[in-house]
Structure 1
Amino acid sequence: MANQGLVLVTGATGFVGAAVARAVCAAGFSLRVTARAGSSLANLAGLEAETVPLDLTAPASFAPALRGCRYLFHAAADYRLWVPDAAAMRRVNIDGTLALLREAARQGVERSVYTSSVAALGLTPDGTPADETTQILPAHHVGVYKQSKFEAEQAVRALAATQDIVIVNPSTPVGPGDVKPTPTGQMVLDAARGAMPAYVDTGINIAHVDDVAAGHLLALEKGRAGQPYILGGENLMLRDLLALIAQETGRPAPRLRLPIAPLMPIAWAMERLAERTGKTPLMTPDILRMAKKTMFFSSARAQAELGYAPRPARLAVRDALAWFRASGRLS
C-alpha cells in the first residue's frame, strides 16, 4: 500500500498502543512511536518504526516527537487501579493529554485520535448496556483512574471545538501483546492458572485488542470530530467469562460467588498495607465498589458510523491465552 504519511502513536510500548501501531503499519502509514526512557520495546518487535522519547509530564518533549506528523494516535495513559500518588496520575492523564493535543495542532497535525475509555462514560441504573449518550453521574467514576479519564475526556471534547480530534472509548481489551499485563490480562492469567476459585457478581464488556486497534483507524477515517465512539465487544457476567476461560484451558470453572460487603474490611487492610509498602494491593475498596456496577456497553454508534465489527469474546480470550503461552507466562 502506498505511504499515506507519518503517524505518531503514543503509548505504543503498551497493550492497546502496540496494537494500534501494528494497525497503522498495516494500513500503509509510516510509523513513529514514543517511549519513555527505559521502556521495553519488545511489543514493537518486527515493526518498521522510528522511536522517539516522549514523557507526558515533560512538554518540551512533545514538539520534536510531533514534528512532520500527519496524524496522531494518543494512546498513552497511566492505567492503574490503585496509585499511591493521585496527583501524578492526573498530571499524565489530564494535563499531559491536553498539552500534547494542543502541541499537535501547533505542529500542523491534521487529525488526532484520543484514546479515552468507557471508564469516562456513564452507566445505566439497571445494568443494561450504556452508550455514548448515557447520563454521567459522579458515582459512576470510582477511583482516581476513572476520575482522571472522565475529566480528560470532557476537556478533550471542549478542545475539539477548535481542532480536529476524534475520541474513542475502548471497553476492556483482551488479546495478544499484554506485556504488563493489564489488570484484566492478569485476571485472565490467574483464571487460566486455576488461581481464581471464586468470583463476585459483576459484568464487563470484553473486546479483542485488535478490534479496538482497527476501531482507531476507522475513527481516523470516518469519525466525527468531538464525538466519542465506544470500541467494545461482548457483554459478559464475570462468572461467564471465567467459565469461558475454564473451557479454553480445560479447568473447572469457579462456582463460589463471593458477596462484596464482607470483603470490604480485607480490602481496606490491603490498601493500608500498600500505602506503607508501595506494592499494588490485590484488592482495594474502590475495586470492590466498581465490582458492584454492571459495566455493560453498546458499540452501536461505532458499528453504524465507522463500520466497527467486533468479534466474540471467546476469540479474544483464545488469542490472549495463546500469546501468554507463547511468551512463557502460561505453562
Structure 2
Amino acid sequence: MTGTNAKTAAVTGATGFLGTHLCKRLLEDGWAVRGLSRPTSDRGDLEGEAIDWYVGDLFDDETLRSLVDGADVVFHLAGIGLWSAGPETVERVNVDGTERVLEACRDCETGRLVFTSTSGTRRPSGDAEFADETDVAEPIGAYQSSKAQAEDLVDQYAETDGDAVTVHPTSIFGPGDGEFTVQLLSMGLEPTMPAYLPGGLSIVGVSDVVDGLLLAAERGETGEHYILGGENLTYNQAVSRIAHTVDGSPARIRVPATAIHAAGPVAEAASAVAGVRMFPFDRQMAQLATQRLFYTSRKAESQLGYEYQPIEAHLPETMEWYREDVR
C-alpha cells in the first residue's frame, strides 16, 4: 500500500510495453503512480492496478498539467514509430508532444523529467566497435529525426528551465513486446523461420531498462544522456543462445546483406507509387539493418550504478508470456 509520504511519478506512455513494466515496478517500490492514457488505450496488465489515470493525450494541455503538477518525477515515455504512423504523425507526436510535456512542466511545480529517447540517435563512428553518448549520428528516417529533435528540446529545458535527463535504451527484449521480442524469439524457436539477419545489435532486458530509468531519476546529472544497453550480439549469436536455452529450432540461413540492400529501393518505389509510406524501410534503413549497431553503457554503469543481465536471464518470464499470449 502506498504511504502518505510516497513519492509521486507521472508516466506518459504508461500503457505501452516499457510503460507497463515501469508502472508495475513503481507500484512495487511504493510510489504513487499517475498514468496518462488515451480514451481508446488498452490498459492491459495495468487494469485494476492502483494507478491514478489521467485520460487524454499529449495535446490535452489541461490534462497534462494536472498529470505533472506536484510530481516528483515525470517519466516521458510516450511516442510513436513508423510501424504505427506516417512521418508527419511521428514528428507531431514525438517532437510537438514532447514540447507540450515540457510546457506543462514549466507551468507547474514539477520535479525531474526523465525522457526516454532511442539509441538510434547514436551510432559507432569510424572504426569504433561501440557507440557511446558522444557519438551523435545523422538521423535516418522520420523516427530517429523526431527523437533527435525531442532530445534537443529536453536539453534546452535542462539548461534553462528545469531538471531533466535523457536515456537511450537499445533494443528492448521482454514479455509484452509484440514486435522486436516476438521476431527474435521466432528466429530462435520456430522451424518455419529458417533465416536470420546479418548484422547485430545491443539487446537489453526490459527489467534492466526499468532499473536504468529509476537510477536516472535518482542519480542522473541534469542535462546528461545515458545509454541503457545490454549485450552486444550478432543476430546469429542471439538466435543460437535463445534456441540453446529453451531447446528451440534456431534459424540457420543468413539472409545476404545484398538482398536486404536491394529491398530498400523496392520499398521506396512501392511507397512512391502508392503515394503513401507503406512501411518504414528505404535504402538508408536497409543499409542500417545489416550493420553491427553495438553500444557501451559504461557511462550509465559508472555514474548511475546501472547493470544489465544476459539474454538468458530474461528468457523464463519472456517465454512464459510468449507461449501463453503469442503462440
Distance 2:316 2:140 in 1: 30
Name the residue aligned to 2:51.
Answer: 49
Name the residue aligned to 1:315.
Answer: 313
Q: Does 1:204 align with 2:190?
A: no
Q: How far does residue 200 in structure 1 lie from its aligned partner after superposition?
A: 2.7
TM-score, normalised via structure 1 length: 0.88
Distance 2:316 2:276 in 1: 33
Instruction: Give the counterpart of 1:149 among 137, 141, 147.
Output: 147
Larger RCO: 1 or 2 (CA < 8 Å, sep 6+) = 1
How has the CA–CA distance of structure 1 residues 46 and 286 changed in structure 2, closer, same or farther, with 3 Å as cutoff?
Answer: farther
Q: How far does residue 198 in structure 1 lie from its aligned partner after superposition?
A: 1.6
* Alignment check: 8 A CA contact 1:73 1:114 kept: yes
Q: Which runs of 5+ in 1 are unaligned?
A: none
* Alignment check: 8 A CA contact 2:26 2:33 kept: yes
2:222 is matched by which residue type in structure 1?
Answer: A
Secondary structure of 1:243's counterpart equals helix
Alpha-carbon deviations, 1:306-326, whole Å to 9, x = none? 111111122224432221113
Name the residue aligned to 1:289.
Answer: 287
Q: How far does residue 202 in structure 1 lie from its aligned partner after superposition?
A: 0.8
Name the residue aligned to 1:137.
Answer: 137
Alpha-carbon deviations, 1:250-281, whole Å to 9, x = none? 23322222222233444444555567497964
Name the residue aligned to 2:169.
Answer: 170
Distance 1:301 1:25 in 2: 28
Name the residue aligned to 1:303.
Answer: 301
Q: Does 1:186 align with 2:169?
A: no
Name the residue aligned to 2:248.
Answer: 251
Q: 48-57 vs 229-238, which deviates more?
A: 48-57
Distance 2:38 2:287 in 1: 33
* Alignment check: 8 A CA contact 1:54 1:65 kept: no
1:12 is matched by which residue type in structure 2?
Answer: A
Alpha-carbon deviations, 1:138-187, whole Å to 9, x = none? 2xx22211111122112211221021001111111111222xx23x1231
Name the residue aligned to 1:61.
Answer: 63
RMSD: 2.4
* Alignment check: 8 A CA contact 2:123 2:293 kept: no
Name the residue aligned to 2:92.
Answer: 91
How has the CA–CA distance of structure 1 residues 199 and 20 changed in structure 2, closer, same or farther, with 3 Å as cutoff?
Answer: same
Distance 2:267 2:61 in 1: 36
Distance 2:271 2:85 in 1: 8
Q: Which runs of 5+ in 2 are unaligned?
A: none
Q: Does 1:29 align with 2:31?
A: yes
Distance 1:54 1:116 in 2: 22
Instruction: Give the counterpart of 2:158 among 145, 160, 164.
Output: 160
Distance 1:186 1:281 in 2: 18
Distance 1:13 1:260 in 2: 36
Q: How far does residue 283 in structure 1 lie from its aligned partner after superposition?
A: 5.6
TM-score, normalised via structure 2 length: 0.89
1:95 is matched by which residue type in structure 2?
Answer: D
Q: 250-259 vs 218-227, which deviates more?
A: 250-259
Pairs aligned (count): 322
Instruction: Give the counterpart of 2:9 among 7, 10, 13.
Output: 7
How has the CA–CA distance of structure 1 residues 88 and 223 changed in structure 2, closer, same or farther, with 3 Å as cutoff?
Answer: same
Q: How far does residue 67 in structure 1 lie from its aligned partner after superposition?
A: 3.0
Secondary structure of 1:206's counterpart equals strand
Aligned-residue sequence identity (percent) comes to 30
How has the CA–CA distance of structure 1 residues 115 and 282 changed in structure 2, closer, same or farther, with 3 Å as cutoff?
Answer: closer
Distance 1:243 1:61 in 2: 47
